[in-house]
Amino acid sequence: MRIIALTIAFTAIFFSLIKPVQAKGKRLKELQAMQESSYIMNFNWREFKRYVLQNSGEYQIILDYTIGENCDHCEVFESELSEVAYTYHSAGMHLDQDLDSKLPIFFAKIEFNQNNREAFLISEFNSAPILAIATKKEADQYKEEKKVIYDGKTSWVMSAQDVTEAGVLIEHVNRMTGNKLPIRYTMLRTAKGTILILIALGILFFLKDKLASLIQNRIVWFIGSAVVYLQCVGGVAFSLIHSMPTFRYGQDESGNLIVEEFFQRNGRGQYAGEGYICSFLMFVTASLLVVYTRLNKMEDGMKKEIICLLLAILGFIGFTVVNEIFLLKSPMFSSGFYPPNHYMRGPYSVDQGTNI
């Protein structure tokens, strides 16, 4: 009887010690099973508490705080995030990462509704979508303070101006998780892109005769060149890649939204809006010069002289404004239409700054 009692006691002690380990491993196994059926899991408040607020440090969860219905921006964001989730899933990031000491990574979303309202309140979120990474740190914070406050490194509050393309999203997710995975699109998205390219090539093939005469038109070339010029000089690619806002916004004393700064005081950066302004000003000013060269076909007279004078004035104003913006961005240069104050005057025998 004594041996049986000791055996029961040791067995009870053994199971009491391994029970927490089993509980911890159970949550991880459950998440791995759920991730296999969906790249982005849809949490309710019960699941949010179990897998986020009770995280024991075995995994990390990329969370999409979203509204769901009646939010086009949220739907686009989730669609692009699913491509990022597929990339991580294909790389096996949801599996045990014992070899490189990294934790498994899962993707989930939680929609704002009456049942899930508490998940947003404990983080003081009042907008969507918001991307955040939940770890053991956030779970411990909730146990102590009954709230989960993400910092700037572990969350990203999206705005309507932010770019939600999968190639941009994966950079943010990589920074959060410390990985360097390149984007890998799903088979469906790749097939859609291929079909669109084939359709475009088919249309070009059937319209090749009409297009041949169209591309020989000077006006078409001028419009095409103008579009390319505006896109390149305006820094559209830069603004999209770096998710630049249109301008820097702020609030006045009444709380109304105002523009605090139109142009960055930095030659190596720009707001999206200032690029569009500068490219448009330069295009319009250059177009005035093009019009000026066509005036030789007009008959001489007062009308021609007035148009020449107006073009000269408008061109001067345009170049002056562009030059002032250039000086604002690059104050180390001193380009302008007027000689500087220290410019020497006198006979050409004296150096006036024109010698090279």
pLDDT in tens, 318-338: 888 888 888 888 777 767 776
Is the distance from CB of 261 to CB of 301 less than 8 angstroms? no
Mean pLDDT of 274-281: 88
Mean pLDDT of 99-120: 86
Whole-prediction pTM: 0.57
User: Cβ neighbours of residue 350 under 8 Å, at least 6 residues apart?
Assistant: 344
Q: What is the pLDDT of residue 120?
A: 92
Mean pLDDT of 53-66: 92
Q: What is the pLDDT of residue 19?
A: 43
Residue 197: strand, helix, or coil: helix
* Helix axes 166-177 and 72-90, enclosed angle (nearest 10): 60
148 closest CA partner among 110, 185, 113, 175: 110
CATH 3.40.30.10 domain span(s) along the chain: 32-185
Query: Mean of the per-residue pLDDT values for the chain?
Result: 81
Q: What is the pLDDT of residue 339?
A: 65
DSSP of 243-282:
T--SSEEEE-TT--EEEEESS-S-TT---HHHHHHHHHHH
Residue 233 or residue 86, greater confidence? 86
Mean pLDDT of 294-315: 85
Q: What is the pLDDT of residue 18?
A: 46
CB neighbour class for 59 (10 Å; exposed up to 12, middle 13-18, buried from 19): buried
Residue 195 or residue 330, greater confidence? 195
Q: What is the pLDDT of residue 350?
A: 62
Quickly state the pLDDT bin for 22 (edges 50, 70, 90): very low
Residue 210 or residue 196, greater confidence? 196
Quickly state the pLDDT bin for 195 (edges 50, 70, 90): very high
Is the distance from CB of 105 to CB of 94 less than 8 angstroms? yes
How many Cα atoms within 13 Å fall on the side-chain side of residue 312?
7
Whether 4 has a pLDDT exceeding 60, the answer reads: no
32-185: CATH class: alpha beta
DSSP of 298-337:
SPSSHHHHHHHHHHHHHHHHHHHHHHHHHHHH-TT----S
User: Cα-atom radius of gyration of the chain, to the nearest Å?
Assistant: 31
Q: What is the pLDDT of residue 20?
A: 44
Whether 255 has a pLDDT exceeding 70, the answer reads: no
What is the Cα–Cα distance from 28 to 96, expressed in whole angstroms? 9
Q: What is the pLDDT of residue 246?
A: 81
What is the Cα–Cα distance from 193 to 188, expressed in whole angstroms? 9
Tokens of 80: 């692009």
What is the Cα–Cα distance from 158 to 71, expressed in whole angstroms? 13
Q: What is the pLDDT of residue 322?
A: 85
CB neighbour class for 65 (10 Å; exposed up to 12, middle 13-18, buried from 19): buried
What is the Cα–Cα distance from 308 to 300, expressed in whole angstroms? 11
